Structures are given as structure tokens and as C-alpha cells.
């Protein structure tokens, strides 16, 4: 029998290499489609962050004090698992709970069908399921639930994206062009929409045209997050823009905002913290009012740091509250930074707050650069500190540099 030809062997190896190459390319394309090109390490950190966020959602509904009184560790473990299980199940609609429990039931039957009795060996062994009908029913139930939950999520996400787009229309996309000042701002909602608000615009404050216009700066934080806070943020923006058209002093403007907020705060449960500042571009005087908000930072050109403290009640708590102004004068090179508590309360994987000391350190080291560059520097530092930890509160920052 003649030996196989060398060319035939080479053709076979070539065909095998082509098949493996096509299979590898198809597998790589499949992986790229699934992961959207994200690296394994990044995928893992995202999964860990999402798992922690999901766990925190369910753990709030567990009675941990009762569980801690259980002395037996085994019993405490099973009760904890049971409590978390029911916290998850009760998030489903009643109909989906039934489907979920049926899927688990058929999965249990499939598991039990794999316990094959062997009397001669004195017990049972775990083998493959003997009835694949139960396996198919369990998988079908879980896939049906997954499809229903995904459909809900897609619908909700589409609605939230529309809401986010509308919310973007409510805040300025670019800062106003005012001689002598450079402004930059940024916001990052914890969810698709949020309750933080910022604004910057010129308004008339005197019937005398020669008095000129003043620059109004506002940073606000509605109590809560997501859709409820976003709706109240929209009403805050509407009332601010309406009241700002009246040529009234800043204190009267804020008093009007408070009275409007009290009428829509559900008895003070939906209050709003805010900081208002008004700058005269000619004299560079800055009047400000803090309504329960974090005191902004004013870093002078000399390097010294001041806090603009003018504390009063948040908006929406007491309709009779009175607001008085603080005042200071700006100079060339001064840096003004207003922010919401999401900045200093941003947490990392060790549950540590970013804190005001880190914020002050970044601002002290910031060179004489544009407001946008300083803002990017600050936001990048917060992001580096937080790492893969999921954002738990809205983050908003407004930076103004006097030129």
C-alpha cells in the first residue's frame, strides 16, 4: 500500500487550520458583541459594583436586628438567606412570583431525579437528571421571567432616556459669556435622571438700565434621587426662571423660591438645599445666600481659602423663613467652586468618603488655568478616588474663575 502523499497531508492540515481560524474569528466576534469590547477586568469590576448595589437594595428589607439575636450560626445563616430570598421575590409582581416559584419547583424536581438509589452501596449518589422534562420546564420558566423583566427594563430605560433629554434642556449647555469671568459646570446623576440643578444667567435687578445686569449662579440639590427628585428639579427650574424676571434683590428672589417650594414639598419631606450667588460684573461684588447647602469654596489668587457661609433653612420647610445675604468682593485670579454633597460624599470600595479635605487639596494645587480645566481636574480626582464603586448620589459642580 503506497504511503499517503505529502501534498494530501498538507491540504488536510491547511483545511484544519482554516476551520480553526474561522471558528476563532467567529468566537472572537461573538465575544466582542457580548462584551462590547470591554476588558475582562473592567467587566468584573462592573459586575462587583452592580452586585453590591443590588445587595444594598434587598438588605434594607431584612430585619437584621432579629437575625442578630439568633445565637446558632447555622440557623442564622439559613434565616438570612431566606430573608434575602423573599426580599427579592417580593420585588416581582404576583404573577411573576408564581412563575418564579414554579421554575424553582421544577428545578428541584430535576435535581431530585438525579439522586439514583444504590442499595448495594448503602445510599444514593448524585447523577445526571433522569427526567429532562423538569429541566426544560425550569429553564423555560426562568427564561420567560428574564424576557418579561428585560422588556420592562427596556421600556423604562427608553422613558428615562426621554426624561434625561428633557432634563438636559432645563440646564444650560454652555455658560453665559460675561466679561471678566470664566464659568464651567458639570453634573453626573446617580441614575438616569437626578435631582441636582445648576444654572448661570444674566438678569436685571433694577429698573434703572444704567445699573446693568448681574450674573446669577445657582447650585441646588432636591432631597432624594431619580424620578421624584427630577420632577421637583423641573419645578425648581421653572419657578427660578419665572421669579428671576422680576427685578428684585437676591433675598426677595430666594424668599419667593422658598414659598413656592413649601407649596410643593409634601409638608417639608421634599425640601431643596440651594446656594444662590449674584455677581456684579462691573464692581465684582458677590452677594450670596446658602439655603441649607454646602458652603462653596473661594480660593483667592494669593492661595488663601474662604468658605462662603450664609446658612439658612433649606427651601420647602418653613414658608415664613427669611434669607439674608452675605457679601464679598472678587479679584482677578480668584476661584469660586460650588458643589452638591454628592462630591464630598462620594465613596470608594472601602466605604470612605471623598471628603472636603481632598477637595480643598485639589483646589489649592490647581494652577491658574481655565475654569473648564479646573473642573476636569476635580471631577477626574473624584472619579479616581471612587474607582469601580457605583455612584450613590448625584454629583454637580460649578466653577468660576475671575479673569
For the segment 236-250, what is each residue's pLDDT rounded down to a tens digit? 999 999 999 988 899
Given this model, what pLDDT does residue 14 score? 67
Domain end marker among 165, 188, 222: 165
> Are residues 161 and 177 both part of a single domain?
no
Alpha carbons within 13 angstroms on the beta-carbon side of residue 17 total 6
Strands 335-339 and 123-126: unpaired
Q: Are residues 218 and 307 in the same domain?
A: yes
Kindly state whether residues 286 and 333 are assigned to the same domain. Answer: yes
If one counts the domains in the chain, the total is 2
- β 181-188/196-204 pair status: unpaired
Find, among 244, 356, 239, 261, the residue nearest to 314 by Cα. 261
Q: Give mean pLDDT, residues 265-290.
A: 88
User: Of 96, 201, 112, which is closest to residue 150 (Cα–Cα)?
Assistant: 96
Question: Is residue 140 located within the same domain as residue 221?
Answer: no
**Is 198 found in the same domain as 215?**
yes
Residue 9 has pLDDT above 70, yes or no: no
What burial class does residue 284 get, using C-beta atoms within 10 Å of its C-beta: 0-12 exposed, 13-18 middle, 19+ buried?
Answer: middle
34 inside domain: no
Same domain, 115 and 233: no
Q: Are residues 265 and 217 in the same domain?
A: yes
The pLDDT value given to residue 126: 54
Per-residue pLDDT, 213: 87
If asked whether residues 161 and 185 sit together in one domain, one would say: no
Do 283 and 150 lie in one domain? The reply is no
> Does 396 or 62 have the greater pLDDT score?
396
What value does the mean pLDDT take over residues 158-166? 77
Q: Is the predicted pLDDT of residue 210 greater than 50, yes or no?
A: no
Instruction: Please write the tens of the pLDDT for every residue from 339-376.
Output: 999 999 998 888 899 999 999 999 998 898 999 999 99
Residue 32 included in any domain: no
Residues in the chain: 403
Supply the range of the domain harboring residue 193. 171-402
Q: Which of 165, 189, 207 is the last residue of a domain?
A: 165
CB atoms within 10 A of CB 346: 22
Per-residue model confidence as pLDDT tens digits over 304-344:
999 998 778 899 998 888 898 999 999 999 999 999 999 99
- Pairing mode, strands 311-312 and 285-291: parallel
Q: Which residue among 139, 165, 191 closes a domain?
A: 165
The verdict on 184 and 207 lying in the same domain is: yes
**Among 344, 326, 328, which Cα is nearest to 336's?**
328
Least confident interval from 200-214, 220-234, 378-392: 200-214
My answer on whether 296 and 370 are in the same domain is yes
Q: Which residues contact 176 (CB under 8 A, 6 or more apart)?
A: 183, 200, 201, 202, 215
**Higher local confidence (pLDDT), 165 or 377:** 377
Phi-psi region of 351 (alpha: psi -120 to 50; beta: other; left: phi over 0): left
Mean residue pLDDT across the chain: 83
Q: Is 259 helix (H, G, I), strand (E, B) or coil?
A: helix
pLDDT digits (tens, 9 = 90+) for 10-40: 566 667 777 777 888 888 888 888 887 777 8
**pLDDT attached to residue 94:** 86
Amino acid at each position: 500500500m503506497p504511503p499517503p502523499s505529502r501534498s494530501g497531508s498538507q491540504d488536510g492540515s491547511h483545511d484544519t487550520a482554516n476551520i480553526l481560524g474561522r471558528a476563532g474569528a467567529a468566537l472572537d466576534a461573538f465575544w466582542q458583541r457580548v462584551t462590547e469590547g470591554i476588558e475582562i477586568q473592567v467587566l468584573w469590576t462592573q459586575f462587583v459594583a452592580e452586585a453590591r448595589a443590588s445587595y444594598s437594595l434587598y438588605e434594607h428589607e431584612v430585619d437584621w436586628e432579629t437575625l442578630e439575636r439568633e445565637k446558632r450560626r447555622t440557623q442564622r445563616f439559613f434565616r438570612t438567606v431566606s430573608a434575602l430570598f423573599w426580599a427579592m421575590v417580593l420585588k416581582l409582581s404576583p404573577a411573576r412570583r408564581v412563575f418564579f416559584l414554579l421554575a424553582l419547583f421544577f428545578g428541584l424536581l430535576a435535581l431530585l431525579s438525579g439522586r439514583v438509589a444504590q442499595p448495594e452501596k448503602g445510599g444514593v449518589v448524585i447523577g445526571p437528571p433522569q427526567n429532562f422534562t423538569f429541566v426544560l420546564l425550569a429553564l423555560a420558566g426562568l427564561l420567560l421571567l428574564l424576557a418579561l423583566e428585560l422588556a420592562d427594563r427596556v421600556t423604562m430605560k427608553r422613558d428615562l432616556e426621554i426624561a434625561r433629554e428633557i432634563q438636559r434642556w432645563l440646564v444650560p449647555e454652555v455658560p453665559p459669556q460675561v466679561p471678566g469671568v470664566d464659568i464651567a459646570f458639570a453634573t453626573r446623576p446617580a441614575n438616569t435622571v437626578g435631582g441636582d440643578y445648576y444654572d448661570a444667567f444674566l438678569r436685571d435687578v433694577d429698573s434703572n438700565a444704567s445699573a446693568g445686569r448681574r450674573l446669577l449662579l445657582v447650585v441646588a440639590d432636591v432631597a432624594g434621587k431619580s424620578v421624584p427628585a427630577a420632577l421637583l428639579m423641573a419645578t425648581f427650574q421653572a419657578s427660578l426662571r419665572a421669579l428671576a424676571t422680576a427685578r428684585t434683590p437676591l433675598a426677595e428672589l430666594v424668599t419667593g423660591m422658598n414659598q413656592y417650594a413649601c407649596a410643593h414639598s409634601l409638608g417639608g419631606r421634599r425640601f431643596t438645599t440651594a446656594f444662590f450667588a449674584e455677581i456684579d460684573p462691573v464692581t465684582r461684588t458677590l452677594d450670596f445666600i446658602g439655603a441649607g447647602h454646602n458652603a462653596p469654596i473661594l480660593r483667592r489668587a494669593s492661595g488663601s481659602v474662604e468658605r462662603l457661609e450664609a446658612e439658612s433653612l433649606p427651601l420647602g420647610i418653613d414658608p415664613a423663613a427669611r434669607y439674608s445675604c452675605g457679601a464679598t468682593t472678587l479679584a482677578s485670579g480668584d476661584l469660586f467652586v460650588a458643589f452638591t454633597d454628592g462630591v464630598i460624599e462620594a465613596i470608594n470600595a472601602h466605604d470612605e468618603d471623598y471628603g472636603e479635605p481632598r477637595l480643598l487639596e485639589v483646589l489649592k494645587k490647581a494652577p491658574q488655568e481655565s475654569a473648564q480645566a479646573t473642573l476636569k481636574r476635580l471631577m477626574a480626582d473624584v472619579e479616581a478616588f471612587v474607582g469601580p464603586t457605583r455612584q450613590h448620589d448625584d454629583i454637580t459642580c460649578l466653577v468660576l474663575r475671575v479673569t
